[in-house]
C-alpha cells in the first residue's frame, strides 16, 4: 500500500466525492472560534488548520443518548432493536481521536460484540490528519497516540506544501484511494522525507503537560498508590463528570426505559460517569464505591492499569488533554498521574 | 449476529410469596425453541425487563435440571422490582441470559459441602443445594446453615423444612432477632459453625448473603483453617448490561458480570485489594 499525494487543488473534489457517498464528519469552526467535529455539507466547511476539537469522536459511535430497543405492550409484547446504519467518513480527524476509537473497538468488540456500536463502526472510515500544532494541553506523545500515527487509521493525511500526503493503513483506506486514483499522484521520496521532518518537528512543540503514564501504570498495577492520593484528588473533584464525557475512551453507560405513547416505549442507553456517587449504588442502598476516593481509584485503575491495558489492547489515555481543559478542579489525567508518581497531588 | 441486549419474551407462570417483601417468580420463555435452548447452571444470573420500568439483574434461584422454567427470588425494593411485583401471574417480562459463570460442581465432587446463606443470599445457593442433594452419593456430606434477620425474613420455608428432615443433609437455621415465639437458634449465621463438625481440609464452603455477612463468615471460615480456594461466593452489583460493556460492575481487574458472579475468596481478596479496601 503505497503513499500518494493529493494535490491541494484536488482536495475539494476528493471531499465532494466523499460527500456523495456518505455522511462526512469533519472539524468545523463554530461561532466563537471553537472547533467541533460535525457533519459537513460542502468542502469549504472543513477547518483544516485546527489543533484539537472540543469533543472527541465518541458521540458518533456511542451517542450520548441512543435508542437500543423499542417495545410495544399493546396486546402481545413486542420488542425490536434499532440500529444506526449510516455510512460515515471521519475526515481530517486527529490521531489521538482515531486512537481513542481503537480503545472503544476493544471495549465494544471482543467475544461479545455490542451490535449498536459495531453497526456504526463497520460503516465508518477514518481519515486521520497528522498534527503539527499541538495545543498547550496536549500530550498525545506520552499516550502513544500522535501527533503522527503508525497504525490504526484507514488513511492518514499530512498537510505538505503542495498537497496532502495520503498514507494508507487498511484495506478500506486502500479501496478509497484506489477509487479516487485519478485525483492522486504517486508520492516521491521528497514527500516522505518532508513528512518525517514534520513529524519530528511536531514532537518538539508540546507544552508543559505530560502524563507520566509508565510510573502511574506500574503503581496502579501493583496497588501501590498511597490512599492520600485518591483522597486529595477526590477532595478536589466536584463530580461533574466532565472529564469522562470529554474523554475519547470513557464509555460507561446506563440504560433506562421511557414511554413515548401509551403502550409504546423505548429503551435508551446514556453516557454515565464512574465518578458519580450513584454510579454503582444498588437499590438496597449498598454502594460498592461509597467514597469519592474509591471512585477516583476505580477510574484511574481502569484507565491506566496493566490489567485493563491487557484486556483492551492498550491503556485508555490517548493524551488528548481534554480533561485538562474540562476539569475545573485540577484533578485531571496529568495531575493525577503525577500525583501517583510523587505520592501526593501537585 | 445475536443482539445480546435483546430480551426474550417470557411469561410469569407462577408467583410465590416468600416473605412480606420477597417473592419468587417462575418465568417461562414464550418461544419454544428459545425455551429449549435456554439452559443454565447454579450461580448464573439473568437480566429481567419490566418494559417501561427498566431492567435489573437477578440470580437464578432454580436449578435448571429437568425443567423448562426459571425462578428468580426478588425483594421489592426499587423501580424494577416494584413493577415486577405489580405484575401478576400471566404478566409478560423480558429475559436476557443466562449470564455469568457458575458454581463448581464436578470440581468439588467427593468433598464435604457446606452452604452458608444469609437472608436473600439463600437464593443463588438454592439451585446448587438442590443439584448437590440430587447427586448426594457423590459428596461426602451436605450441610446448610441459614440465617435471617427475623423468622419472617426466612425464605423457602417449605424447602427449609424438607431440608431439615432430609436424610443425608444437615440444615440449621438461625435468626438475628427472635420474634413470634421462635424457639430456634438466635445469633448471626456464623455462630452455627460451632454446632457442626467439620473436616476442614476436605470441605468446600459456598457463602452468599449481604456484604457484611459475607465478610464475617469468611473471617470465621479462615480462622477455622479454610483455604482461600475452598471458600466460594457470588457477588452482586447493579449490572446494567451483564456483558462487560457498561462497566458498572467493575471490581478491581474484573467484571462481576463476565468474570463472575462466582468467585473464590482468593479472587475476591485480590479484587478487594485493588479496590483499596
Between A78, A115, A282, which is nearest B1 by CB?
Answer: A115
Where does a domain end: A203, A237, A264?
A203
Nearest C-alpha in B relative to A297: B275
CA distance B38 to chain A (A): 18
- Cα separation, A218 vs A304, in Å, equals 9
SS3 string of A7-29? EHHHHHHHHHHHHHHCEEEEEEE
Average pLDDT score, chain A: 94
* Pair (A290, A183) in one structural domain: no
Between B52, B81, B92, which is nearest A257 by CB?
Answer: B52
* Pair (A193, A336) in one structural domain: no
Between B237, B258, B274, which is nearest A223 by CB?
Answer: B274
Element (H, E) at A55: none
* Pair (A198, A228) in one structural domain: no
pLDDT at residue A80 greater than cutoff 60: yes
Nearest C-alpha in A relative to B258: A112
User: Which pLDDT band holds residue A2 (cuts at 50, 70, 90)?
Assistant: confident
The pLDDT of A2-13, averaged and rounded, is 96
> A108 contacts in B (CB within 8 Å)?
245
**ipTM of the prediction:** 0.93
Nearest C-alpha in B relative to A71: B51
> B9 contacts in A (CB within 8 Å)?
77-79
**Of B23, B33, B67, B62, residue with least CA distance to B45:** B62
Report yes or no on A261 lying in a domain: no
Tell if the CB–CB gap between B240 and A281 is shorter than 8 Å: no
Q: What are phi and psi of B68, to 5 degrees?
A: -110, 25
* Pair (A21, A137) in one structural domain: yes
CB B206 within 8 A of CB B232: yes
Whole-number pLDDT of residue A1 = 56
The pLDDT of A303-318, averaged and rounded, is 94
Cβ atoms within 10 A of the Cβ of B17, count? 10
pLDDT in tens, A113-126: 999 999 999 999 99
Supply B266's cell numbers: 482468593
Count Cβ atoms within 10 A of the Cβ of residue A7 and give its class: 0-12 exposed, 13-18 middle, 19 or more buried. Answer: middle
CB A81 within 8 A of CB A115: yes
Cβ atoms within 10 A of the Cβ of B38, count? 21
Report yes or no on A69 lying in a domain: no
* Pair (A37, A186) in one structural domain: yes
* Pair (A161, A133) in one structural domain: yes
Report yes or no on A257 lying in a domain: no
Tell if the CB–CB gap between B240 and A77 is shorter than 8 Å: no
Tell if the CB–CB gap between B55 and A257 is shorter than 8 Å: yes
Q: Does A81 touch chain B (CB under 8 A)?
A: yes
Element (H, E) at A240: none
Beta-bridge partners for A314: none
* Pair (A284, A327) in one structural domain: yes
Whole-number pLDDT of residue A75 = 84
Whole-number pLDDT of residue A214 = 81
Whole-number pLDDT of residue A208 = 76
> A294 contacts in B (CB within 8 Å)?
275-276
- Give me the total of CB pairs closer than 8 Å, taking one residue from chain A and one from chain B: 123
Report yes or no on A163 lying in a domain: yes
* Pair (A97, A30) in one structural domain: yes
> A122 contacts in B (CB within 8 Å)?
none
Whole-number pLDDT of residue B1 = 72
Supply A293's cell numbers: 476516593
CB A186 within 8 A of CB A2: yes
* Pair (A158, A236) in one structural domain: no
> B80 contacts in A (CB within 8 Å)?
283
Nearest C-alpha in A relative to B49: A257
Q: Does A71 touch chain B (CB under 8 A)?
A: yes
Low-confidence ranges of chain B (pLDDT < 70): none
Tell if the CB–CB gap between B92 and A114 is shorter than 8 Å: no
Tell if the CB–CB gap between B211 and A286 is shorter than 8 Å: yes
Tell if the CB–CB gap between A257 and B53 is shorter than 8 Å: yes
The pLDDT of A289-311, averaged and rounded, is 95
Whole-number pLDDT of residue B276 = 86
Quick one: residue A110, left, alpha or beta (phi over 0 = left, psi -120 to 50 = alpha)?
left
Tell if the CB–CB gap between B53 and A283 is shorter than 8 Å: no
Four-point Cα dihedral A140, A145, A149, A151, nearest 10: 180
pLDDT in tens, A149-203: 999 999 999 999 999 999 999 999 999 999 999 999 999 999 999 999 999 999 9
Give me the half-sphere count of Cα atoms (radius 13 Å) on the Cβ side of residue A186. 4
Cβ within 8 Å of residue B171, ≥6 positions away: B143, B144, B145, B146, B160, B163, B164
**Of A240, A239, A266, A243, residue with least CA distance to A65:** A266
For chain B, domains (ranges, CATH) are: 8-99 (2.40.30.10), 106-234 (3.40.50.80)
Whole-number pLDDT of residue A212 = 65
pLDDT at residue A346 greater than cutoff 80: no
Report yes or no on A185 lying in a domain: yes
Q: What are phi and psi of B261, to 5 degrees?
A: -80, -5
pLDDT at residue A271 greater than cutoff 60: yes
Report yes or no on A74 lying in a domain: no
* Pair (A199, A232) in one structural domain: no
Beta-bridge partners for B55: B49
Tally of domains in chain A: 2
pLDDT in tens, A196-244: 999 999 999 998 767 667 888 999 999 889 999 999 999 999 999 999 9
Report yes or no on A316 lying in a domain: yes
Q: Does A293 touch chain B (CB under 8 A)?
A: yes
Tell if the CB–CB gap between B276 and A293 is shorter than 8 Å: yes
CB B180 within 8 A of CB B151: yes
Supply A150's cell numbers: 503508525
Q: Does A20 touch chain B (CB under 8 A)?
A: no
Between B3, B53, B244, which is nearest A115 by CB?
Answer: B3
pLDDT in tens, B172-187: 999 999 997 899 999 9
Report yes or no on A75 lying in a domain: no
Cβ within 8 Å of residue B246, ≥6 positions away: A252, A253, A254, A255, A269, A272, B239, B240
> A267 contacts in B (CB within 8 Å)?
49, 51, 55
Percent of chain A clearing pLDDT 90 (strictly above): 89
Whole-number pLDDT of residue A211 = 64
Nearest C-alpha in A relative to B11: A77
Whole-number pLDDT of residue A215 = 84
* Pair (A161, A308) in one structural domain: no
* Pair (A322, A190) in one structural domain: no
Whole-number pLDDT of residue A321 = 94
Domain of A226 in residue numbering reads as 213-252+273-342
Amino acid at each position: 500500500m503505497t503513499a500518494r499525494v493529493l494535490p491541494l487543488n484536488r482536495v475539494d473534489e476528493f471531499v465532494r466525492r466523499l460527500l456523495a457517498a456518505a455522511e462526512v464528519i469533519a472539524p468545523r469552526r463554530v461561532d466563537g472560534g471553537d472547533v467541533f467535529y460535525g457533519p459537513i455539507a460542502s468542502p469549504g466547511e472543513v477547518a483544516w488548520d485546527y489543533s484539537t476539537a472540543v469533543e472527541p469522536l465518541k458521540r458518533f459511535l456511542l451517542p450520548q443518548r441512543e435508542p437500543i430497543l423499542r417495545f410495544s405492550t399493546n396486546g402481545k409484547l413486542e420488542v425490536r432493536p434499532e440500529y444506526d446504519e449510516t455510512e460515515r467518513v471521519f475526515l481530517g480527524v486527529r490521531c489521538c481521536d482515531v486512537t481513542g476509537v481503537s480503545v472503544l473497538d476493544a471495549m465494544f468488540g471482543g467475544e461479545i460484540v455490542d451490535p449498536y456500536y459495531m453497526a456504526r463502526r463497520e460503516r465508518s472510515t477514518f481519515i486521520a490528519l497528522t498534527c503539527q500544532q499541538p495545543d498547550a494541553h496536549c500530550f498525545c506523545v506520552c499516550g502513544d497516540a500522535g501527533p503522527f500515527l503508525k497504525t490504526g487509521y484507514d488513511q492518514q493525511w499530512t498537510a505538505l506544501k503542495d498537497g496532502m500526503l495520503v498514507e494508507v493503513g487498511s484495506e478500506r483506506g486502500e479501496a478509497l484511494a484506489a477509487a479516487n486514483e485519478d485525483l492522486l499522484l504517486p508520492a516521491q521520496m521528497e514527500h516522505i522525507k518532508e513528512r518525517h521532518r514534520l513529524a519530528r518537528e511536531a514532537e518538539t512543540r508540546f507544552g508543559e503537560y505530560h502524563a507520566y503514564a509508565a510510573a502511574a501504570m506500574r503503581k496502579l498495577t501493583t496497588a501501590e498508590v498511597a490512599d492520600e492520593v485518591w483522597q486529595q484528588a477526590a477532595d478536589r473533584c466536584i463530580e461533574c463528570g466532565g472529564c469522562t464525557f470529554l474523554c475519547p475512551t470513557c464509555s460507561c453507560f446506563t440504560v433506562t426505559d421511557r414511554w413515548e405513547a401509551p403502550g409504546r416505549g423505548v429503551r435508551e442507553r446514556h453516557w454515565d460517569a464512574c465518578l458519580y456517587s450513584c454510579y454503582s449504588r444498588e437499590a438496597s442502598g449498598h454502594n460498592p464505591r461509597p467514597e469519592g476516593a474509591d471512585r477516583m481509584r476505580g477510574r484511574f485503575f481502569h484507565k491506566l492499569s496493566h490489567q485493563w491495558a491487557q484486556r483492551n489492547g492498550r491503556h485508555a489515555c490517548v493524551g488528548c488533554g481534554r480533561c485538562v481543559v474540562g476539569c475545573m478542579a485540577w484533578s485531571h489525567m496529568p495531575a493525577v498521574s503525577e500525583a501517583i508518581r510523587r505520592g501526593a497531588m501537585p | 449476529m445475536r443482539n445480546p441486549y435483546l430480551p426474550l419474551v417470557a411469561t410469569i407462570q407462577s408467583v410465590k410469596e416468600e416473605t412480606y417483601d420477597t417473592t419468587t417468580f417462575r418465568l417461562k420463555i414464550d418461544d419454544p425453541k428459545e425455551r429449549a435452548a435456554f439452559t443454565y447452571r447454579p450461580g448464573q444470573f439473568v437480566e429481567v425487563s419490566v418494559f417501561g420500568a427498566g431492567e435489573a439483574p437477578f440470580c437464578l434461584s432454580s436449578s435448571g435440571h429437568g425443567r423448562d422454567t426459571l425462578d428468580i427470588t426478588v425483594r421489592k425494593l426499587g423501580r424494577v422490582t416494584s413493577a415486577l411485583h405489580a405484575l401478576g401471574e400471566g404478566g409478560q417480562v423480558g429475559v436476557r441470559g443466562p449470564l455469568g459463570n457458575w458454581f463448581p460442581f464436578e470440581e468439588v465432587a467427593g468433598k464435604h459441602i457446606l452452604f452458608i446463606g444469609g437472608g436473600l443470599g439463600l437464593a443463588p445457593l438454592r439451585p446448587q443445594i438442590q443439584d448437590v442433594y440430587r447427586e448426594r452419593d457423590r459428596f461426602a456430606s451436605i450441610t446448610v446453615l441459614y440465617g435471617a434477620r427475623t423468622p419472617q425474613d426466612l425464605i423457602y420455608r417449605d424447602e427449609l423444612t424438607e431440608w431439615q428432615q432430609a436424610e443425608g443433609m444437615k440444615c440449621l437455621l438461625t435468626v438475628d432477632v427472635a420474634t413470634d415465639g421462635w424457639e430456634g437458634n438466635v445469633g448471626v449465621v456464623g455462630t452455627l459453625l460451632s454446632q457442626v463438625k467439620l473436616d476442614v481440609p476436605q470441605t468446600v464452603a459456598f457463602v452468599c448473603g449481604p456484604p457484611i455477612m459475607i465478610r464475617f463468615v469468611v473471617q470465621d471460615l479462615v480462622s477455622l483453617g479454610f483455604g482461600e480456594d475452598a471458600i466460594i461466593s457470588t457477588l452482586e452489583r447493579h449490572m446494567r448490561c451483564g456483558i462487560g460493556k457498561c462497566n458498572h460492575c467493575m471490581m478491581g481487574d474484573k467484571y462481576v458480570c463476565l468474570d463472575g458472579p462466582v468467585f473464590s475468596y482468593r479472587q475476591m481478596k485480590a479484587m478487594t485489594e485493588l479496590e483499596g479496601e
